[in-house]
A and B are shown apart, each in its own frame.
Chain A
Amino acid sequence: MKKIIIILLVIPVLSSCQDWLDEEPKAVATETFYNTEQEADAAVLAPLAKLRNGYAMSYPGLMECFTDYSYGRGSWTSNSDYKGLDTQNMTRANGIWASMYNAIRDCNIAIEKLPNATAMTDEQKTRYIAELKFIRALSYFELVRLWKSVPLRTPENMAEWNLGKTSSEDIYNFIIEDLKFAIDNCPENSRLVGTPNQNTAKSLLAKVYMFQNKHNEALPLLESVITSNKYTLLTIEKSRDFEKIFGPTVVSTPEEIFYLKNVRPDSKGWEFVMFCAHPGAKIDGKQMHGAGGWYGLYTTTENAMISEWDVKDLRKEYNIFPLDFGMGDNTFLMAKYYDPEAPNAHGAGNSNPLIRYTDILLYYAEAATIVNGKPTTDAMEKLNMIHRRAYGYSPTSPSEIDYKLSDYSTKEQFMELVMREQAYEAMNEGKRWLELVRWGIAKEVIKKIKGLDIADKHFLFPIPTTEFDYNEGLDPTTDQNPGY
């Protein structure tokens, strides 16, 4: 017995105690990752997952409150007053900022690590880096549009917390460089539904040029996407058929260029669908959203965009749903997305159509018109494809409701048509406001439709105050956006 005790006391002294204190987590370490193709797959999905927070509700919610055709309700009401963001909506805008930068960080880490991958060919590495650069460009594009000049985080300066702003021109140049790389090196077809390919990169670059008013440079890219013949418009016979494009169980359509995908399980759905739904709304006999709804958006026949909308346009019945939820019997919910079987607020399966083929057709129509100084047959045809489809005709054959070039022969007349078609086609897709700003008509349109004035400062969000609190590279008095 004595011996045992002596052994017990002595053993720990003799053992190599240090080994006992080594940590061996059952998890993956950064140092051993980013080597194989599967690991590169997982690395590309990381920034896509981070983007989801910003796009979940804040981004489309705020953008739609600012449109000419709809209004915010409840805590979103004040956004439709165009008097700046209140506390809660400021938090939502800050969330978009963080979400975009989280995605940028994940891109930067992987872009830095992948060149050293041990189990991939150079070609494979370049392909994944190209996909990451596309996602990084998309994130910066949102930042530069909403905040203008922002800190430019790259793999080179990742470790420096305190980083000043980079001018919007330089941010745009960085985006263009990333997208050119993506066009050259992305796979021809998406590896998975929801990852980028060459055409998504071309589409985004074209959009970036459109936002810089470089129609000349956008046009060949748009043409290249259209003539790739990878995309077509679905034919619609009745309004409910739009469910085949926007419904919760659609995996993909030939209209999809770049969508943020959603599924019902695991709260990996789209919160914006819950945001639009009302617990009392029944579409086709089914509840609009399985978990009720927050009806943060609505519109009314008092709005000219709605009252002047042709009822034969199948999009009208589909996109707005009449419901008197206490604000009168002429109010409508925004009903592009609904999911009766969404298990919870974050469980709607509808995809977020960030870039849809119709966007490209409209950009083409616009770019061709601007470049040529007047609308072309080709431009009119692209516009008509969208228009016909909306009335239940085949998108590709001429129909009786076609717009005729002779009726809209000037640039101005044609652009008016494009601008209206954009509202009806991309309604509730979070795109309208920034298009109005791009065309330079936001003030005028909002005054005309809603009778409200917009102060200049409200075309940009304020840089989050928390960014100033923790980033010493920014000076709150000189670096904040004007007016805040």
Chain B
Amino acid sequence: MREWLTQKTHFILCLLFLLVFGTSPSIAQNRTITGTLFDKQTNEPLIGASVVIKGTSIGTAADIDGKFSLEVNDPNAILVCRFIGYNSLEYPLNGQTTVSISLSPNTEVLDEVVVVGYGTMRKSDLTGSLSSVKSKDVTAFTVANPIQALQGRAPGVVITSNSGSPEGNFSIRIRGTNSIRGDNTPLYIIDGIPSNPSSINNQDIESIEVLKDASATAIYGSRGANGVILITTKRGETGATSVVYDGSYGIQSQIKKLDMMDATEWALYNNEQQLNDTGKEYFTAEEIAAMGKGTDWQSLVFKDAPIQNHNLTISGGNEKTQILISASAMLRDGLIPNSYYNKYNLRSNIDHAINDYFDVALTSSYARTNKSNKNSGGGNRGGSLMGGAISSPPSLSPYNEDGTYQDLRLAYPFMSNALFNPINLINEQSNKTEADLSNNNIALTYKPIKGLSIKSSFGIESLDFRDDNYTTSKYLYGMASASVGNTRQTSIINENIANYNITLVEKHRIDVTGGFTYQDYLEKKMSASGSDYISDAPESHQLGAASTFGTPSTSYTDWTIMSYLGRINYSFNSKYLATVSFRADGSSRYSKGDKWGYFPSVALAWRISDESFLKNVEQISDLKLRVGYGETGSTAISPYTTLNMLSQGKTPVNGDLYTYYAASTTLPANLKWETTAQYNIGLDASLFNQRLRLTADYYNKTTRDLLNAVTLPASSGYSTTIRNIGKMSNKGFELMVDGDIMNTKDFSWTASANIAVNKNEVKELYGGKDIYGGRVGLAYIEDFVNLIREGEPLGVFYTYKETGYDETGNLAYEDRDGNETLTNDDKYITGNPHPDFTYGFNSDIRFKDFEFSFFFQGSQGNDIFNIGETANMDVGIGLNLKRDVLYSHWKADNTEAQNMAAKYPKASRSVKQNYSDRYVEDGSFLRLKNISLAYNLPVAKWSVGNWLKGVKIYVSAQNILTITNYSGMDPEVNSWGGGNSVNLGLDYLTYPNSKSITFGTKVEF
């Protein structure tokens, strides 16, 4: 390893040497050329088109009339003219000084080049399933994490917002959930290198390609099972330097508040409960009369908050060197005061041709994120910030008369002793993270002969982040305390890829790719803490001043993956296409002997439209059928899982803390790779002179050797062990349609729609036995909700069925086996968290200088288990409840009909709840994700000279319209999302999502 790194150093030195001495610019001028650039078909001037003298860096851009002037020293120089959306043209001057050049529009959409694993391909040659999302859609509105911009854009890519916290907390599934234990998130590749997408600004993105079927992802082997998302950042282009500023400012607000009782209502309800349970009312009539509306805690906790994004991009270049430099700032405050996520990015992409044989590229990015968390959710009976915001009694206020915080727990004798004053948490508890992420990658490409390129790249991704947590002395629930944690993650990546592209005889085209890659990841952590401070001033920056110290901790994690890969693409006359790929992955995480996994794929495509029987059908511009099969893996286990390691801890003896070593709570076992096999059949069609484009795919995938934690009985002393336990399948259908409905000089209208259906099914489990999801423990219900059962989708809701109220007004449940106790045998499958289908619809209309677009996104048929709703039946502890509870509950003096229709049981602490079908709600929704109106200022008509190329101003709104029957705050929720793939579709006291109104401008120079 060390030896090898030394070699690598030599290589970098050589590379630097070439960088410094490899270029030799030569500039001389003596005559001026003037000219005009225009569209070959419409004769419109091409404003901003670039003109460069071939072989030099001299160039300019066309002005508002398409005119340019340029000084040349060679009367026979060749002008290279380029414009986005047009075919480039090389124009020999042949001594002319005034020229008129027309470019033809590049209507060959099919010949678009798309990024695929370890290379690029002509879109028309694709044999696998891939969705491509362009910059325009990725940048339509500001998102904290650019991946969120994919929501609803690509069929089969389901993005669910887990919570509304400002850093953007979401789950992503491509073609369903493959793994119980794995995180099911796709592999993210940025400019060819596996890295973290959260750190880039969406404005820096040129395109995002989503590889979905196994024939496309198998080249990523053990990391491809969950799909692969390839992000390509913008790079410099040959031509005049362009400077673009894009900025927006928006105001976010809460989508929906819960309708809670006011103080009077709350007191009335509590009196009824007290009377039922203790025989006497607590509040007197006078006390109730004095209460009024009281405090609206939600409006104190959730405030309107700004979001802004600014990006400045400078790009340009000549024939040899192209650069792009960008700087951006995304600043997002959360709805909960003192929570924010601010991201600052610097990026420079440099491409340089050393000579005819060598190219070098540097991709360098730096991101700083500052985050302040106020994410405390869960915590039943008001035991969290969110819980306090919903449940605090409206009769109380955050502050005492002397200005100190009120300890709400002490207000009434029956009060929940878990209840937090949310304002105290917002102001006196701080949890901040500062992260520095730098990602540098240098690549050298060698092209010894035509068609052959050998690319060797070396990258380091380094993430360094520090958490600072403290609570002040005004924190009501403990002494002033502070802790600091530091984490350093370094990934070293080396990739060596050779590609040979050759046309054998006529019509036979072969493209061979092969290579070796290596990645080593190292993580080191440390943390320290202390409590009881004399002063709040130092926050977490003087841990030494603490009176009591926590035990400092450090940790170390290292994993390595090395791979051999190969792929052959064969094309016969562009009509018959075939792709075969293979990858061998070695991972340090698996047991000796099981370290290597092998992942093959094969795919065929047939361009039917090139067959004679269709050639003459005018309506069909292109028609291609694709079939493919491949196997991919997922690394569903953490490093060291197969080793028998002891965990270390401290325990008090002798008046001090002593170290102990004990076996871990997870019993180690020998494990093998989790493998996903996928079939895909797809059809690409382009109709009516390419104005209507359609892509349809059907897939069927099966994951075998599923890894999962098997729960062991508590009496074993272990909690779990991990085993290869079963099989799961996902089948689905995806359709993407987009079309140019109108396209004239003044008016154009394009629209696209996509829909995806996925059916998940657990095929086989260890011994055929059900696996229970993680227990959702509340003070008053302690049970699991989600179930893994053979023949059912992963994580269905498995609960009791409510049968109404018993004669005492308590909740009654169906006792299926009639044995008078409720056990798991009495439960039913009462809901399915997976949607029947997800869809998106986008429309872009341009009229003269105005642009209007809107984007709908939706999910149909998924159920949500509304755990938050259980709090409305947890009465007797003084917490606030939904207004409905007061006006519709079981009462002894009601008529039977009234009681049957009552939404809630008796106001009594004797009400015993279980998870039941009562909490299962339809989570379907249709949401207007974005609507935007933009105006391109007619700068061309202003006589400001050609330094100003365009000014666009726009106003847009996000999430302003949602159609749903869901009764909670928002249907886009997945409280246990993130790391957990089984506890799906649960909603419990989660940071609320926001809607926003945004104003922005884009200025191009």
Binding site for B on A (CB under 8 A): 1-2, 4-5, 7-9, 11-13, 15, 17-31, 33, 39, 41-50, 52, 74-75, 86-88, 90-91, 94, 97-98, 101-102, 104-106, 108-109, 150-151, 153, 158, 161-163, 192-195, 251-252, 261-268, 279-280, 290-292, 294-296, 325-327, 341-345, 347, 464-467, 469-471, 476, 484
Whether A91 touches B782, Cβ cut-off 8 Å, given contacts A326-B413, A470-B711, is: yes
Q: A27-B640, A104-B717 are in contact. Are A292 and B478 (CB under 8 A)?
A: yes
> Which one of B7-15, B343-351, B363-371, B694-702 contacts A?
B7-15
**B contact residues vs A (CB 8 Å cutoff):** 1, 4, 7-8, 10-11, 14, 18, 358, 407, 409-410, 412-414, 416-417, 446, 448, 454, 456, 476-479, 481, 496, 498, 516, 518, 520, 531-532, 547-551, 556-560, 562, 586-589, 595, 639-640, 642-646, 648-663, 665, 711-718, 772, 777, 779-782, 821, 823-824, 877, 912
Q: Is the CB of B661 within 8 A of A192?
A: no
> Is B661's CB under 8 angstroms from A1's CB?
no
The answer on a CB contact under 8 Å between B661 and A39 is: yes
Whether B717 and A21, one on each chain, are in contact in the complex, defined by CB atoms closer than 8 angstroms, is no
Residue of A12, A23, A467, A469 near B589 (CB, 8 A) is: A23
Contact in complex: B548, A49 (CB < 8 Å): no
Please report the C-alpha to C-alpha distance between residue A153 and residue B559 in the assembled complex, in whole angstroms.
Answer: 36
- Asked if residues B654 and A4 are in contact (CB atoms below 8 Å), the reply is no
Say whether B715 contacts A153, CB under 8 Å: yes
Q: Which of B1, B656, B660 contacts A46 (CB 8 A)?
A: B660
Of all chain B residues, which has the CB nearest A476? Answer: B823
Contact check: which of B412, B550, B912 meets A266 at CB < 8 Å? Answer: B550
Q: Which residues of A contact B587 (CB under 8 A)?
A: 21
Q: Is the CB of B416 within 8 A of A153?
A: no
Does A290 lie within 8 Å of B715, measured CB to CB? no
A-B interface, 9 closest residue pairs, ranked by CB to CB distance from nearest: A105-B717, A326-B413, A471-B713, A46-B662, A45-B660, A194-B653, A251-B655, A49-B651, A343-B531
Give the shortest distance, in Å, between B832 (CB) and chain A (any CB).
23
Q: Give the contacting residue for B548; candidates A7, A21, A262, A347; CB below 8 A.
A: A347
Chain B contacts for A261, CB-based, 8 A: 652-655
Contacts of A343 in B (CB 8 A): 478-479, 481, 531-532, 547-548
| Contact status A20-B516, CB under 8 Å | no
User: Complex Cα distance A465/B587, Å?
Assistant: 39
**Min CB gap A178→B, angstroms:** 17
* Residue of A12, A23, A52, A74 with most partner-chain B CB within 10 A: A23
- CA separation between A90 and B446, bound complex, in Å? 69
Contact A42 B661 (CB under 8 A): yes
A74 touches B645 (CB 8 A): no
User: What are 15 A-B pairs at a CB distance below 8 A?
Assistant: A1-B446, A20-B560, A20-B586, A21-B560, A21-B587, A75-B779, A109-B662, A151-B715, A163-B715, A193-B653, A263-B656, A292-B407, A296-B417, A341-B532, A464-B714
Chain A contacts of B556 at CB under 8 A?
25-27
| Total CB contacts across the A-B interface at under 8 A | 270
What residues on B are CB-neighbors of A19 within 8 Å?
1
Given A5-B456, A26-B556: A46 in contact with B4 (beta carbons within 8 A): no
- Hey, which chain B residues are within 8 Å of A1, CB to CB? 14, 18, 358, 446
- Would B714 and A466 count as touching, CB distance under 8 A? yes
> A106 is contacted by which of B645, B714, B717, B877 (Cβ under 8 Å)?
B717
A380 CA / B557 CA spacing, docked (Å): 64
Whether the Cβ atoms of A291 and B479 lie closer than 8 Å is: yes
Residues of chain A with a CB closer than 8 A to B660's CB: 42-46, 48-49
Chain B: minimal CB distance from A207 (Å) = 21
- Give Cα A166 to B407, complex, Å: 49
Which B residues touch A25, using CB under 8 A? 556-558, 639-640, 643, 645
Closest B residue to A265 by CB, please name it.
B548
Which residues of the other chain, B, contact A27 by a CB distance below 8 angstroms? 556, 640, 645-646, 648
Q: A11-B7, A295-B417 are in contact. Are A21 and B657 (CB under 8 A)?
A: no
Given contacts A45-B659, A90-B782, A467-B715, 4 further A-B contacts (CB under 8 A): A21-B587, A102-B665, A343-B547, A471-B716
Complex Cα distance, B446 from A7, in Å, reads 14
A102 vs B639: C-alpha distance when bound (angstroms): 24
Cα A26 to Cα B639 in complex, Å, equals 12
Give the distance in Å from the alpha carbon of A29 to the alpha carbon of B821 in the complex.
Answer: 46
User: Are the CB atoms of A161 and B643 closer together than 8 Å?
Assistant: no
Q: Are A106 and B651 in contact (CB under 8 A)?
A: no
A20 touches B1 (CB 8 A): yes
Known: A17-B562, A21-B595. A97 touches B714 (CB 8 A): yes
Q: How far is the CA of A341 from the CA of B780 in the complex (A)?
A: 32
**B644 to chain A: which residues have CB within 8 Å?**
29-31
In the complex, which residue of chain A has the Cβ closest to the Cβ of B475? Answer: A291
Q: Which residues of chain B are within 8 angstroms of A17 by Cβ–Cβ distance?
A: 562, 586
Q: Is the CB of B650 within 8 A of A266?
A: yes
Please indicate the chain B residues that have their CB under 8 angstroms from the CB of A49 in the complex.
649-651, 660, 662
Task: State A27–B644 Cα separation when bound (angstroms).
Answer: 10
A412 to B802, CA, bound (A): 54
CA separation between A17 and B659, bound complex, in Å?
37
Asked, given contacts A9-B496, A23-B643, A292-B478, whether A265 binds B551 with beta carbons under 8 Å apart, the answer is yes
CA of A175 to CA of B717 in the docked complex: distance in angstroms?
18
Kindly identify which residue among A279, A296, A470 contacts B410, using a CB–CB cutoff of 8 Å: A279
A27 → chain B closest CB, angstroms:
5
Known interface pairs A49-B651, A193-B653, A344-B531; A279-B407 also in contact (CB < 8 Å): yes
Asked whether B713 lies within 8 Å of A467 as measured between CB atoms, the reply is yes
Residues in A with CB closer than 8 Å to B562 are: 12, 17, 20-21
On whether the beta carbons of B551 and A344 are closer than 8 Å, the reply is: no
B648 touches A28 (CB 8 A): yes
Most buried by B among A86, A327, A344: A344
Q: Which residue of B lies closest to A152 (CB)?
A: B715
What separation, in Å, do the CA atoms of A105 and B520 have in the docked complex?
36
Contacts of A158 in B (CB 8 A): 716
Contact present for B651 and A467 (CB under 8 Å): no
Instruction: State whether B477 touches A291 (Cβ < 8 A).
Output: yes
In the complex, the answer to whether B410 meets A106 with C-beta atoms within 8 Å is no
Known A-B contacts A2-B448, A23-B639, A49-B660; the reply to A194 vs B652 at CB < 8 A is yes
Contacts of B652 in A (CB 8 A): 194, 261-263, 268
Question: Would A292 and B715 count as touching, CB distance under 8 A?
Answer: no
Chain A residue numbers with a CB within 8 Å of B586 are 17-18, 20-21
Which of A48, A193, A469 is in CB contact (< 8 Å) with B651?
A48
Which A residues are CB-close (under 8 A) to B456? 5, 8-9
- The closest CB in chain B to the CB of A465 belongs to B823
Nearest residue (CB) in A for B587 is: A21
Closest chain B CB from A196 CB (angstroms): 11
The distance from the CB of A89 to the nearest CB of chain B, in whole angstroms, is 10
B651: chain A residues within 8 A (beta carbon): 45, 48-49, 52, 268
Question: Bound state CA distance, A39 and B416, in angstroms?
Answer: 45
* Residues B478 and A345 in contact, CB atoms below 8 Å apart: yes
Q: If A101-B717, A294-B417 touch, does A21 touch B588 (CB 8 Å cutoff)?
A: yes
Name the residue of chain A whose CB is nearest to the CB of B710: A470
Which residues from A are CB-within-8-Å of B18?
A: 1
What residues of chain B lie closer than 8 Å to A18, measured between beta carbons?
586, 595
Give the CA-CA distance A98 to B716 in the complex, in Å: 9
The distance in angstroms between the C-alpha atoms of A347 and B478, with both chains bound, is 10
A294-B779 Cα distance, complex, nearest whole Å: 15
* Cβ contacts under 8 Å, A327 to chain B: 413
Expressed in whole angstroms, the minimum distance between the Cβ of B209 and any Cβ of chain A is 27
Contact at B661–A46, with CB atoms within 8 Å?
Answer: yes
Q: A221 to B346, alpha carbons, bound, how many Å?
A: 77
Distance to closest chain B CB from A1 (angstroms): 6
Query: With the chains together, A11 CA to B642 CA distance in Å?
Result: 29
Instruction: Tell whether, in the assembled complex, residue B782 and residue A88 are in contact, meaning their CB atoms are under 8 Å apart.
Output: yes
Q: Which residues of A contact B654 (CB under 8 A)?
A: 192-194, 251, 261
- Taken together as a complex, chains A and B put the C-alpha atoms of A37 and B665 apart, in Å, by 24
CA distance in complex: A310, B407 (Å): 36
The residues of A that contact B823 with a CB separation of less than 8 Å are 465, 476
Cα–Cα distance between A108 and B454 once the two chains are bound (Å):
59
